[in-house]
Amino acid sequence: MKKTQKTNYAIPTLASAAGLALFTLMACSEQKKADITTLETVKAEAAVNAFDTTGSNELKLKAETAFADLDREIRELEVRVETTVGEKKAEALYKLTELKKRSSEIRGDFNEAKVRTLIEDVKQSVR
């Protein structure tokens, strides 16, 4: 009696989709970097880097918490833009624009880290 080998096509397909997503995210990250650094952006970036290094769920949650803090800072700037006038409004608007851009950059890094973690998890499950 001849043994047949069972093939699971879902894992290679998932890995291919994850690779394509990572390629797409990397292509988007070639734009000019934002011109702002705040305590919240530093915390978010550090949390993303820590998650990227380990892939642990605990560090993923810390990164998501750091993004919540960053989102709060963005909302505060949005209020400042709405409630100020003249030069102060222009300054707040510039900061808001740059902060949103920086937030998007860090979120892109986080998404790339999540894809890399997914790919590594798939590789580990196949072994």
pTM exceeds cut of 0.85: no
Q: What is the DSSP letter of 31?
A: S
Q: What residues does each domain of the chain span?
A: 32-126
Among residues 84, 79, 83, 44, the alpha carbon closest in space to that of 64 is found at 44
Among 98, 89, 110, 88, which residue's Cα sits nearest to residue 29? 110
Q: What is the CA radius of gyration of the chain?
A: 20
pLDDT for 4 beyond 50: no
- 50 vs 123, higher pLDDT: 50
pLDDT, one tens digit per residue, over 20-66 is 555 555 555 566 788 899 999 999 999 999 999 999 999 999 999 99
pLDDT band at 16 (very low <50, low <70, confident <90, very high): low
Q: Is the pLDDT of residue 5 over 50?
A: no
| Percent share of the chain, pLDDT over 90 | 68
Contact indicator for 41, 70 with CB cutoff of 8 Å: yes
47/61 Cα distance (integer angstroms): 9
